Structure 1
Amino acid sequence: MSFSAKNTVIIILGPTGVGKTALSILIAKALGTEIISADSMQIYRHMDIGTAKPSAEELRAIPHHMIDILSPAESFSAGMFRERAKEAIDGLLAKNRIPIIVGGTGLYIRSLTEGLFEGPGADWPLREKLMEDEKIHGSGHLYKYLCEIDPAAAEKISPNDLRRTVRALEVSLKEDKKISECRQLSTKPADYNFIKIGLSRDREELYRMIEERVDKMMEEGLLDETGRLLSMAPERTALQALGYREMEQCLEGSIGLEEAVRLTKKRTKMYAKRQMTWFRKEQGINWVDITGLVSADDIYEKVLNKVEILREIIYS
């Protein structure tokens, strides 16, 4: 590398449907490198349409990692992603190539940029006791308790999120120290120089593009793909993904096709909103508003104009 980019990793992030894939392909071509997917659903085989995987042509043009690595019945965690992604990153860096991570699964990306705190295994008797206390003393009792023993952890949890409140108390009581302290001691970012590029669009435009994308998925055969998945993996993890669960309801006869499509669009928009809320809290992201841009070339040019360090890497 002529640019002093030792241990540099490029991350392209943003909400679903914003245009990450097309941009990543052009940057990968410019750098002669490979792409690592950070999408929690693209890891599954046989789920091509509903997860909007790169096309066969794009996959032939640029090698991709972390796509089609599991069957739909298997589960996968952010910790497992971190380990596999690090292997791919280190392999590319060893060949003097700058890895490009692309995706919208915020926890996967954070597992690399900030590290993960997994904590001790579940203590079911303790959880049951805590839940019983909540029933006896009323809603909000456990959250008040968490505020008393670990206000730093409570600040990051909604008062209505009982599951996370119980987990925070469980860890604190088992480890005999605050969960916030446990996180500080055990959470370490991966040792890379991350360049984070975030793509955003006007909300109305993004929502319109999501609707068009769902319509295209239906034309390409999302309903049939869901049917094939159901026959392959009735005990499945992956079929809880957006689009598939709605199509499953349709195939089972509990809702009509029109309603399944409407729900898919609605829930995908809600997911995109949650993604942006998550990413807006992340530090060090170079945000580029690509509202009005459709062509991958136009998006690429705007990103290069806005992100000086990326321009320096590509033209060095």
Structure 2
Amino acid sequence: MEEYAQIPIVCIVGPTAVGKTGLSLELSHRLDGEIISADSMQVYRGMDIGTAKLPFIEREGVPHYMIDVVDPTETFTAYDYARMARPIIRDIASRGKVPFMVGGTGLYFRSVLDDLDFTPATRDEALRSTLELETVEHGIQVLHEWLQQLDPVSAMRIHPNDQKRLIRALEINLLTGKPVAENHRSTNSLSPFVPLVIGLNMEREVLYARIDQRVDQMIDEGLLFEVQTLIKKGCTAQHTSMQAIGYKELVNYIEGHVSFSDAVIRIKQASRRYAKRQLSWFRADPRISWYNWPNDDKISVVSTILESINRDGIRKKPTYE
């Protein structure tokens, strides 16, 4: 890991719809930075509207990475993210630019910053076959209830219909005797980067209103058509990508399980719950400096952040550039 040592990186984290994208663009312009997305769903091609993927024309000339890297029928893990993102960060720094990692997927940040050990848990084909048979005989809900008892954190993150991930989580729990998260612990080696982590938050009522507004905007922009297009390309409810908020609810609508208005309500509810989980995850990280955004005076907040960045040795972009 020495090749990554001492590389400074600015991270911007926080709940969905809080304003991370806008701040990342402003700071990137000021610091001559390039942005690495840390969003577990923006990695998928064709999932643009529902993941709030910033259109190319709106990126203001700032290079963005880790967007559209796999097809939505493929599985993509935090290990894959770290393996792809670390060389990009090193390349950005080698060219004298400032790497920014921006997004709301906490495990993606940890996989890069904390040098997590992703040594796969032992696989047991007999156990997997037993779990698959259990699904056939008693239904997938039994697996989800079992996981809730063994590993409530994983059960909260995995959709009750995602058979592949449920079986894998149960396999890890039963083979190691530990929850999935405890199999992704930091190694004892030095962190490969020197991070300055900025956390954005705002009053809950304001955040929830922004989330609702964003969902309405996604619907207006054609989220339903995007989901229909993905289904035509072979995506099903069993693919990890289609478990994303906004996609799974509309799949339920398309399959006739709920009305369209109910699906939209569920998207908003799930988005608000997700924002709460994001905040819980990030608040546990003592490295994060929190800012009330954008309720505080924006100019003051940006100035304070820039001062913190400069103290950590990340240079400001010269005014003549």
User: TM class, shorter-chain normalised?
Assistant: 0.7 to 0.9
- State the partner residue of 2:139: none
CA distance in 2, matches of 1:53, 1:90: 24
Per-residue deviation, 1:229: 1.1
Mapped contact 2:35–2:101 kept (Cα < 8 A): yes
CA distance in 2, matches of 1:103, 1:11: 8
Structure-2-length-normalised TM-score: 0.77
Structure-1-length-normalised TM-score: 0.78
Per-residue deviation, 1:252: 2.2
Per-residue deviation, 1:112: 1.4
Mapped contact 1:288–1:303 kept (Cα < 8 A): no
Mapped contact 2:123–2:171 kept (Cα < 8 A): no
SS of equivalent to 1:67: coil
CA distance in 2, matches of 1:306, 1:34: 17
- State the partner residue of 1:202: 203
- State the partner residue of 2:223: 222
Instruction: Classify 1:207/1:127 alpha carbon distance in 2 versus 1 (closer, same or farther; 3 Å).
Output: same
Instruction: Classify 1:82/1:188 alpha carbon distance in 2 versus 1 (closer, same or farther; 3 Å).
Output: farther
Tell me which amino acid in the other structure corresponds to 1:287: W
CA distance in 2, matches of 1:193, 1:238: 31
- State the partner residue of 1:274: 277
CA distance in 2, matches of 1:300, 1:83: 36
Mapped contact 2:202–2:292 kept (Cα < 8 A): yes
Per-residue deviation, 1:58: 2.6
Deviations 1:10-36 (A, max 9, x none): 000000110000100111111122100
Deviations 1:184-205 (A, max 9, x none): 6846564110110000111111
Per-residue deviation, 1:305: 2.0
Mapped contact 1:12–1:102 kept (Cα < 8 A): yes
The counterpart of 1:238, out of the listed 227, 231, 241, is 241
**In the alignment, does 2:36 pair up with 1:36?**
yes
Instruction: Classify 1:247/1:183 alpha carbon distance in 2 versus 1 (closer, same or farther; 3 Å).
Output: closer
- State the partner residue of 1:249: 252
CA distance in 2, matches of 1:226, 1:127: 31
CA distance in 2, matches of 1:186, 1:127: 28
Per-residue deviation, 1:278: 0.6
Instruction: Classify 1:181/1:202 alpha carbon distance in 2 versus 1 (closer, same or farther; 3 Å).
Output: closer
Mapped contact 2:44–2:72 kept (Cα < 8 A): yes
Mapped contact 1:49–1:222 kept (Cα < 8 A): yes
- State the partner residue of 1:83: 83
| Stretch moving more, 187-196 or 241-250 | 187-196
Per-residue deviation, 1:303: 3.6
- State the partner residue of 2:175: 170
Deviations 1:112-147 (A, max 9, x none): 1223233433224467899x9xx9xxx99x96xxxx
The counterpart of 2:264, out of the listed 255, 261, 264, is 261
- State the partner residue of 1:304: 303
List runs of 5+ in structure 2 lacking aligned partners. Answer: 135-141, 156-165
- State the partner residue of 2:100: 100
Tell me which amino acid in the other structure corresponds to 1:308: E
Tell me which amino acid in the other structure corresponds to 1:43: V
SS of equivalent to 2:290: strand
CA distance in 2, matches of 1:169, 1:189: 31
**In the alignment, does 2:11 pair up with 1:15?**
no
Instruction: Classify 1:202/1:170 alpha carbon distance in 2 versus 1 (closer, same or farther; 3 Å).
Output: same
Mapped contact 1:18–1:200 kept (Cα < 8 A): yes
SS of equivalent to 1:61: coil
| Stretch moving more, 262-271 or 109-118 | 109-118
CA distance in 2, matches of 1:79, 1:160: 17
Tell me which amino acid in the other structure corresponds to 1:239: M
Kindly, what percent of the aligned residue pairs are identical?
37
Mapped contact 1:13–1:103 kept (Cα < 8 A): yes
CA distance in 2, matches of 1:287, 1:75: 33
Instruction: Classify 1:268/1:34 alpha carbon distance in 2 versus 1 (closer, same or farther; 3 Å).
Output: same
How many pairs does the alignment contain? 285
Instruction: Classify 1:88/1:123 alpha carbon distance in 2 versus 1 (closer, same or farther; 3 Å).
Output: same
